[in-house]
Structure 1
Amino acid sequence: MNVKTKLSDCMRPLLLGALLLGNATLATSAQAEVQPLNRVVAIVDNDVIMQSQLDQRLREVQQTIAKRGAALPPEHVLSQQVLERLIIEDIQLQIGDRSGIRITDEELNQAIGTIAQRNGMSVEQFRAALTRDGLSFEDAREQVRREMIISRVRQRRVAERIQVTEQEVQNFLASDLGKLQLSEEYHLANILIPVPESASSEAIQAADRQASELYQQLQQGADFAQLAIARSASETALEGGDMGWRKAAQLPSPFDAMIGALKAGEVTQPMRTPGGFIILKLLEKRGGGAQVRDEVHVRHILIKPSEIRSEAEAQRLAERLYERIQAGEDFGELAKSFSEDPGSALNGGDLNWIDPNALVPEFREQMANTASGELSKPFKSTYGWHVLQVMGRRATDSSEQFREQQALNILRNRKYDEELQAWLRQIRDESYVEIKL
């Protein structure tokens, strides 16, 4: 039996930020002295969980619950819950190890850099902040690495269990909920000139005139926020009338239709509502609308270095093929004979119309610098040596495709939690677990 000492990985990568922003719970728990490993509390397949791991995680959970002001359950009940969590995490880490999932130093450094950036720090400042809170930078890196492994294991194992049919996507797009979730969102501000329920016709006319005057001032360049603060009776008046983000379907008629016709910065004419006269300003909008995507029609020849072909030999072969194409030989025929890209070689190297963002940076950059109909000089990417030819460029309206992808993502996310819990139960049942408590 391989007995390994494991660090507690309670701290999620994103929670490192919460730690630095004042989460004394984790800081206090991390400062707690780790007790010597005294006994095994659980055997999990080819690994073990030690009493010290359980004690440390238990203290952290107790402090977190206490900080929330919630009542603590009996310690023996909480201890069983915490141990079960450690078991599930350990099983996932072992699956990652057997699957060959490795987190490179470069990936780990990038993750640490992202955490530091989210806290408005450099990596060195982040390291210093951890030290001030009594945390080891090396322990923090190890915890992030473990969480990254678990995340990748779940992506692989759970994602393959989720099936969303084309019919489900179309049904969602046709539903009221789908239309609401995929419609445009508008960031709005308002000015309200109130009219009491029992107002006389003279009072209504006076409010109408006041709203019209404000509208004219706005048309002449007056500051909307200042007018809202000074004149509006809306509950958001002191915020300059800012209402936040709203869907068109959440607005009363006729504002839902009027907002769609506005450009950012424009205002509606005053409209009578039960509460009075309202003027809306469109601050910004997002989502919905046309999604135009640039695509490039490109073909290429890929030459890979190998055990029998050195890097220099691969480069020389790519250069010779470039010269042969320049001399008039057919690109497609040479691609069929020499290209080592299995996805395009039989098609004469043709990648068809493709989104540049789907390509590796070296290929994307070379393609961007090659005019339509032109041939690139040989260049290197992570895959090997390439010669490419740009066949054409176009802008494609992918609005419908974009909406379908959004719907697919929403439906997949809905199913993810359910599938994750089912998978966790499955791997727990299939694992050898012997609890020693």
Structure 2
Amino acid sequence: MQRVMNSTCRKLLATIAGAALLQGLPTLAAPKEPVAVDRIVAVVNNAVITEHELNARIDQVLRQLARQNTQAPPRRILERQILERMITEQSLLQRAEETNIRIDGAQVDRAIGRIAQQNGMDLATFRAAVEKDGTDFEAFREQIRTEIAIARLREREVDNRITVTEAEIDNLLANPALKDRQQNEYLLAHILITTPEGASPDRLQALKAKADKALAELKAGADFAQISAAYSNAQNALEGGQLGWRNEGQLPSLYVAAAKALKPGQVSDVLRSPNGFHIVKLVDLRGKDAALVIRQTHARHILIKTNEVVSDQDAKNRLTQLKERIDNGQDFAALAKLHSDDLSAAKGGDLGWLNPGDTVPQFERVMDSLKPGEVSEPIQSPFGWHLIQVLERRDQDVTQERKRLDARRAIRERKSDEAFDGWVRQIRDSAYVEIRLDQ
């Protein structure tokens, strides 16, 4: 994104240009052919979105829709949809910068390497495939950098603040509909037409009419993915609004009630929530009765908490020194007993066997990247700074424990999704946005 030129610079350049013209400098003579200017289509706080950037993203989405055999909405509607997504992205990126989230090239390279591996390609082959699809690889890298930054921002601002109590799990498991919840999973797609905070009655009526029009087109046989791309404000609108397979506990109660009344292939009426107007499609339904085997990790750690006396840099430096001592042969458990601020210090930092989701995302992500016996570099979490060592891993059949584990995950995912949607809307609404698409 180009930065907005401040008024002082503009005035200075205008003065210089004017003086040069008065002096008749030949280098400033009018060119024989017009030069194309990359005009600004939106201003987001102190950054701009240019027409070139918008058109590049539109071309990318059109290729994606073509691969999905989904008819693209009219160009004007698609422009508005994608520009709004880019405005939201830019608002979130600026928030990430304000909170010192920085994604370096090595992190981007690792992410691209994982994507290539998941597609069964080496990096060179994957790059060739991206460029063959018509996407500039450097632009692809920047998009991955953006996605990582927003994911880190979500972890810090939303996910890490989500708590699930034992009482919430008990209440979910005590629900009479538990049998269906555990045995069935729903594949849903949705359309969301958001309502701004403090919207007037006339504005709400206009948005409801928009939702009704989308529903009417669906009832007349229009493709759901096409209508999603044309009408929805959801982050996954251009992916057909697909929510993936989710059990009942992972879905908002509004969607659960709608899904239960539908047969696969059917769509709901227009639903109302504090976020806006919704249309839900039940794509498919399946049973869930297979055994659950999960990868458990036995790990230990040393935690240094920060406070008024111990800064982040102090904590990191202490752990760096401890890691050097461990690398030189000193015992991890003995050092944990002496230096760790966690309750596990008495047990040499031993955390026992950990299931996925037992620790905060920053901790789990680093722990999952370690081999047995390997010690991490100092890493930061909401609790302070850690050294992590993985002792061993095992695949454990936890079929008998799956109900409680599923309930915890379902509650966390639902609360996180709901909190994230509201939080994104607040960030977007609080940004200064000037749309110049029609100028």
TM-score, length of structure 1 as denominator length? 0.49
Bigger-Rg structure (1/2): 1
TM-score, length of structure 2 as denominator length? 0.48
